[in-house]
A and B are shown apart, each in its own frame.
Chain A
Amino acid sequence: MVSVERVAQPRFTWTVPEGILPAVIAVSATVVAGYTASTLETPITSEVGLVAVLPPAYWIGIVTLNVIFAVSLGRGRPNPWLPAVLLGCLVVALYGAASLATPVPRAEVAWRHIGIADTLLRNGQLDPGLDAYFNWPGFFALLAVLSSATGLPPMQLALWAPVVNALLWLAALGLVVRTLTTDRRLVWLTLWLFCLANWIDQDYLAPQAFGFFLYLVVLALLLNFLGARTSPGWSWSPAGRLGWWRERLPTDPLAARRVAALLVVTVLAVVIVVSHQLTPFMLLASVTALVATGRVWASALPLVIAVMVIAWLVYPASTYLAGHPPLFVNGVEAAAAANVSERLAGTAGHLLVVRIRILLTGTIWILAAAGVLIARRRGPHDARPVVLVLAAAPFALLPAQSYGGEMLMRVNLFSLPFTAFLAASALLAMQPVLNHIRVVALAVLCSVLAVASVSSRYGNAQFDMFTAAEIDAAKRLYELGPADAMLIAGGHPTPWRYREYEQHRYRTVQDICESAPDAAICAQLVHASARREQSGAMVLLNRAVKSSLVMQGAMSDIEIDGMEKTLARLPGVSKAFENEDARIYRIEPYRQVG
């Protein structure tokens, strides 16, 4: 018998390095999602915002990213850089959708912030008497240098601010979370959930976005270099508790590095205090909670931050402080009314968006609660107590300020990094390697959260994304009006105040007519307040304002049109400009006698 020996033929194989293929698919999915978002046209007509008008290809891109992420977590040790690429793609697809759809920043506040920075760089000095912003000028001073030195139009900086801020937040949050766990999957899932659940929309060009980044970096420095270890024993007596607290030891043995970290923390805290009203209080609450629970070594730090906050309020911000206490106890009931129940009004579409926001936040909180209860116990290295402290600390401020009805949202933002961590702990509980069913479940959950995130974040797109005609009308408002005329807009969603910020008095019909019983009286009030001005006033009524008033249930279509018709007929009123999305009326002042 002849045996035939099989000779192995040399094979030319080309193997793709692990992680490359999913990364290429993820980048392609992001390009597709981004391209489809860029094909949208303003105005967005749906009452539920972008979610209703984004094409199917966008959603395919979003679902693809979530599936790849869930699969990558399914491995025991995920490739170290693939989740980073995926996270970058998710940020661009979610946070950059509106920036790709329109060439101008959305939300009126970003336009106002550009105007404040413009005032600083034109005048070269601070005037705290102008308004509250000039009492906390740090961020605007930074923005003035940034826009001048780069030579880029401030609108471009504002347009991409959400993407840049989200990336900075995630980088800083990554540093915080990796001090809490050695499980890399938990770190990445926390960042992913934070990205999905952050519908709060505070990442535009704003002091709070800058302050939140610095806040996270401060926490990262505290937990990395200024952390403390406590003994496992516990005493309920005050003396025993004090002894337990005093016996804590620094986690970083290098004293020089602790001092260096404390110096950097102090610099960042100073800039937070100088830049934003609310963030210093959030920082103070979190740092105090960490020190009180023996998690941070620098016991004097809360006192240092408190002195900074008080010193700033007493002197540089004293102009604003008169009549505007930074904190006053409203009570939880008042806070809940201003933050939740007063928002549950408006059209069916708007109500749906509000409910999705509540549901999205509630889901993360329920998962976080599960994380507290069922996540794997890690003995003395269990991070859950410190995470709970950081998640709960911002709530101390909830009854102290309604913050224009936004306090609950701000509290939610400051809690989110830690509720996301607990939620991620629940999803990964006791599973070193996720089985196929759990990978599929995770992909489905993340995809659903992504849809809810887009619905929540861009739910006001009908009135916070402006058309070219509205931008043009706002520009004409400044060109047509006298230099010192009062400028009146229908409401807050108006792309104005980006220039000549300090040269005009600004009011809105919404504010003037707060107590007006009907449209005719509203028109009379606007007319009277305009004519009393020495140079009269210019009134801009645009599409976005009308949408916002109707959607939020403040006024009906008929009332708004009735108010405009009545105003147009009153003496001294003439139409100065009109296009498809806006009209400008000039209101002459009362004739001077003598």
Chain B
Amino acid sequence: MKRVEWIAAATGISGLGLPLLLAAGLPQPLRAVVAFALIGFVPGFAVTRLLGFGDNVMLVVVSIALSLSLTAAVSTLLLSLTAWSWLRCVYVLGAITLVASAVRLGRPA
């Protein structure tokens, strides 16, 4: 498996695993680290890699901006639908990550 695909696979696994870890309950500071990773980086990273932007600095900064934006958008939507819970929001972020990683993996090399 190519290196690029390994990263996509690992990102996809994070999208599945991190929400489950948070749901299961983790001790601090592990919980904070996992939550920051999922809310502030992983979904944006999965989507940004799909879009093929420039270098690593660009990738990291856009990933953070996009992750935080996706979290804000999903959370606002859930509030508008009176269906808000932080865990539900985290599951949606995990799902976005999974889908973006799957699309990346499904692309021809």
Give A contacts to B, CB under 8 Å.
Answer: 120-121, 124-126, 137-139, 141-142, 144-146, 148-152, 168, 171-172, 174-175, 210, 213-214, 217, 220-221, 224-225, 256-257, 260-261, 263-264, 267-268, 270-271, 274-275
Contact = CB atoms under 8 A, between A and B. Distances in A.
Contacts of A264: 47-48, 51, 62, 66
Nearest to A171: B61
Contacts of A139: 72
B85 to A, nearest CB: 7
Contact of A261 (B36, B53, B68): B53
- Dominant SS at the A interface? helix
Q: Nearest 3 A-B pairs (CB), nearest first?
A: A260-B51, A141-B75, A148-B86
A270 B76 CA distance: 12
Contacts of B39: 142, 145-146, 149-150
Nearest to A259: B51
Given A138-B73, A149-B87, A267-B70, 20 more contacts: A124-B82, A124-B84, A141-B72, A141-B76, A145-B75, A146-B35, A149-B39, A149-B90, A150-B36, A171-B57, A172-B61, A172-B65, A220-B58, A221-B62, A224-B58, A257-B52, A260-B50, A267-B66, A270-B73, A274-B73
24 contacts: A120-B79, A120-B84, A121-B86, A124-B83, A125-B84, A126-B79, A141-B84, A145-B71, A145-B89, A149-B35, A149-B87, A149-B89, A151-B28, A151-B31, A168-B61, A168-B64, A171-B61, A210-B72, A217-B61, A220-B61, A224-B58, A261-B51, A268-B65, A270-B73
Contacts of A145: 39, 71, 75, 86, 89-90
A270 B70 CA distance: 10
B32 interface: yes
A274 B68 CA distance: 13
B22 interface: yes
Nearest to A178: B57
A271 B69 contact: yes
A226 to B, nearest CB: 12
B38 interface: yes
A145 B70 CA distance: 12
Nearest to B80: A126
A142 B66 contact: no
Looking at chain B's contact residues, is the secondary structure mostly helix, strand, loop, or mixed?
A: helix
B19 to A, nearest CB: 9
B54 interface: yes
Interface string B2-14: 0000000000000
A436 B3 CA distance: 47
Interface of B: 22, 28, 31-32, 35-36, 38-39, 47-48, 50-54, 57-58, 60-62, 64-66, 68-73, 75-76, 78-80, 82-87, 89-90
B69 A267 contact: yes
The listed residue with most A CB atoms (<10 A of its CB), out of B35, B58, B79, B89, is B79
Given A172-B61, A220-B58, A274-B76, A210 B84 contact: no
Nearest to B36: A150
B35 to A, nearest CB: 4
Given A145-B39, A151-B35, A175 B84 contact: no
A261 B48 CA distance: 9
Given A146-B35, A146-B39, A261-B53, A214 B85 contact: no
A150 B66 contact: no
Given A125-B84, A145-B39, A271 B73 contact: yes
B31 to A, nearest CB: 5
A139 B73 CA distance: 9
A181 to B, nearest CB: 16
Contacts of B57: 171, 174-175
B14 to A, nearest CB: 15
A274 B78 CA distance: 14
Nearest to B52: A257
Contacts of B72: 138-139, 141-142, 210, 271, 274-275
B18 to A, nearest CB: 10
A264 B47 CA distance: 9
A141 to B, nearest CB: 4
Which of B75, B78, B90 neighbours the largest number of chain A CB atoms within 10 Å of its CB?
A: B75
